[in-house]
């Protein structure tokens, strides 16, 4: 496992390794939810060492997550990583740091929840406000 200080020390190499790992392991929507295992840890370590050899760096884009999202509110370390990375990148970093897979917290339990972005919640609230304004203005004119 990696400590936070190791991640921060080799930040740009971790970014490259995370992106490359996600491209290999999470190549389709079915693989997003598979259980991470020891082979995946070895693959990540290999990719990290290759990244250090090549000196590449890349930062993936991530949107703002709603603070009441299931994973965001349940796993604070995952939430910290998710502030900088997309769901699967954050999942991988949290798993490497803690050994805990947010999709499979125990061998007999799996938690699959749709990610809720702040922009989605904001759009829904804006639509509700418009609908309420229309309803309220309709009662004003006797409609």
* Whether the model pTM is above 0.85: no
Quick one: tokens of 135?
């309803």
Instruction: For the chain, 143 residues long, give each residue's pLDDT as a single digit of tens.
Output: 667 677 667 777 787 788 888 888 887 777 777 888 888 888 888 888 887 776 654 455 456 666 667 777 787 777 777 777 777 777 888 888 888 888 887 777 777 766 666 677 777 788 888 888 888 886 665 55
How long, in residues, is the chain?
143
Tell me the residue ranges of DSSP E strands in the chain: none
8-state DSSP, 105? S
Domain ranges of the chain: 4-140
């Amino acid at each position: 496992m990696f400590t936070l200080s190791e991640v921060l020390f080799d930040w740009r190499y971790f970014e490259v390794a995370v992106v490359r790992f996600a491209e290999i392991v999470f190549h389709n929507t079915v693989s997003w939810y598979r259980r991470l295992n020891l082979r995946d840890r070895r693959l990540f370590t290999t990719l990290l060492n290759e990244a250090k050899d090549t000196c590449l760096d890349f930062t993936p884009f991530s949107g703002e997550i709603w603070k009441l999202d299931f994973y965001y509110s349940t796993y604070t370390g995952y939430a910290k990583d998710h502030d900088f990375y997309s769901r699967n990148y954050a999942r991988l970093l949290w798993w490497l740091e803690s050994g805990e897979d947010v999709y499979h917290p125990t061998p007999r339990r799996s938690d699959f929840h749709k990610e809720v972005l702040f922009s989605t919640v904001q759009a829904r609230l804006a639509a509700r406000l418009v609908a309420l304004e229309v309803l309220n203005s309709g009662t004003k004119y006797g409609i």
